[in-house]
Structure 1
Amino acid sequence: MNSRYAEQSTADPRTAELTESLSAVERRITRAVEAAGREQRPELIVVTKYFPAEDVIRLYDLGVRDVGENKDQEASAKAREVAQALRARDAQAYDADPLRWHFIGQLQSNKAKSVAGYAHAVHSVDRGSLLKGLKKVAAERAEPLGCLIQVDLREQVEEGARGGAAPEEVPALAAGISEAQGLRLAGLMAVAPLGEPAEEAFARLSRLHAELLAEHPQAGMVSAGMSGDLEQAVAHGATHLRIGRDVLGERPYAR
């Protein structure tokens, strides 16, 4: 068992299960980092969609501080419930060391205000209309909202397709984010396309990120890699891994 989690209480069977799975994922990350010859270890974002607030609280107690969600309706309610529970336990401790909520799903512009109320970062900025919606609400935040541009890594990107901006659209989106008050250009996010080797897709993402850094050196995040392809993502410079199934298990139900 990874020493990071070994000292945690395992009296609760679900906590014991999460302890083991977190340790297994951390071992995979360690092996991937060593195989890639990297010095910087990627951060782990545990994707908690469809899992209850109680699991998020267990993860917090195990040391997890970054969690990801895909749907605002679920995420906003869960963020409130978790914050209320942890503040009821020890408000000072939680406010000093809170969870960071990462919104990683497709976001409708009319949900921008809600997401900006709890999210540390939005990983799925992929079009100008969404950027416009985020600009309207960002000024109300105490700190800038991190924004990652989601890139479609398919070889042929269909015009008007959702789920990521075409590579040629990245510079304009990056400029819009970096110039907006209340927004912070954090980097790039991508999902390996189905039916295509993840290695090749993440290599393209790495090249796109190098181009972005040349113009925006502060945009250091690369959000890539999930349970099935984290090794390939680490090999190509991912700084944040979005892992759900291999930590929490199979989804209890889909909505």
Structure 2
Amino acid sequence: MREIAANLKDLRGRIDRAAAQAGRSDQPELIVVTKTFPAEDVLRLAQLGVYEVGENKDQEASAKAQQTAELLGRSTTADGSSTTGKLRAPRWHFVGQLQSNKVRSVLGYAGVIHSVDRPSLLKALIKAAADRQAQPLDCLIQVDLREDIPADSRGGAAPDQVPTLAARLAEADGLRLAGLMAVAPLEEPAEPAFQRLACLSEQLRAEHPEATWISAGMSGDLEAAVAAGATHLRIGRDVLGHRGQPR
């Protein structure tokens, strides 16, 4: 608990400095990515006031959501609205590449999906959401920010595919178009890539004013993301430590 609290303090200071340097008066929301870390750490985060947590693999996430619910003494819900004592359930963000055959499982616990990137996945989401008795699921379109995108690329829609995906998502019952998500390309500087994302977000909001989210920035590039207007940061290592080193 002390280790996580100290890491959170350092990280929030870093975010504050990045926001001040960018001339921002608002604070991006922190999503702590808990992949490979146990449900006990999710509970520790809740005790420290962090209720937005991210996972990228359904098999791990579904089990961890259930384990977290058991630790809280309550059943899992998708929107995290129930409470137990002073702690409420976290809201689970699915931030990894999502297979269509995993959609129904993910909808069982996730309140946000950050990785809508192709028509076939959106079709599966629309079908599953129609049978879901819950608040609309927040969905973000994942964009591939590389300047040269291979024809067989996975893990992000090409920028010119965003308007079509957005229009279909905005019309779907049980889903809500929340905005865009992206990962900085490994082979390119983060700053210009995130600036391209900011331009795409502005274009999207011109047609869909409610799509205000920009999910971008991880431990190594959060300053560039904050400078480009990221509204949500996905941070794992700088809060929970290096993966593969369980406490």
Relative to the length of structure 1, the TM-score reads 0.90
Q: Return the match for 1:97 from 77, 88, 93.
A: 88
Gaps of 5+ in 1: 1-14
Superposition pairs of residues 78-157 of structure 1, within 5 angstroms: 78-87=64-73, 92-93=83-84, 97-139=88-130, 140-157=132-149
Classify 1:133/1:238 alpha carbon distance in 2 versus 1 (closer, same or farther; 3 Å). Answer: same
The match for 2:9 among 3, 9, 23 is 23
Q: Which runs of 4+ in 1 moved over 6 A?
A: none
Equivalence for 1:210: 202
Instruction: Tell me the amino acid that sits aligned with residue 134 of structure 1.
Output: L
> What are the Cα deviations for residues 75-124 of structure 1, in whole angstroms up to 9, with x where unaligned?
00000110121136xx7436983211000000000000010111010000
Q: Take 2:220 and 2:159, find their aligned partners in 1: how far apart are those partners?
A: 24
Q: Is the 8 A contact 1:18 1:248 kept in 2?
A: yes
CA distances 1:134-165 after superposition (whole Å, capped 9, x unpaired): 01111213111110000000001111310100
Q: Secondary structure at the match of 1:219?
A: coil
Number of residue pairs matched? 238
Tell me the equivalent position of 2:181: 189
> 228, 234, 238: which one pairs with 2:220?
228
Q: Could you tell me whether the CA contact under 8 Å between 2:46 and 2:88 is conserved in 1?
A: no
Alignment-derived partner of residue 46 in structure 1? 32
Choose from 201, 221, 231 the match for 1:239.
231
Alpha-carbon distance between aligned partners in 1 of 2:193 and 2:86, rounded to the nearest angstrom: 39
SS of alignment partner, residue 84 of structure 2: helix
CA-atom RMSD, angstroms? 1.6
> SS at 1:204's partner residue?
helix
Q: Which residue in 2 is equivalent to 1:162?
A: 154
Q: Write the distance in 2 (CA, Å) between the matches of 1:76 and 1:111.
A: 10
2:84 maps to amino acid? A
In structure 1, give the amino acid aligned to 2:114: H
Q: For residue 170 of structure 1, report the CA deviation from its aligned partner.
A: 0.2
Shift of 1:48: 0.2
Unaligned 5+ residue runs, structure 2? 75-81
Q: Do 1:42 and 1:234's aligned partners in 2 also have CA atoms closer than 8 Å? A: yes
Does the Cα contact within 8 Å between 2:46 and 2:87 map onto a contact in 1?
no
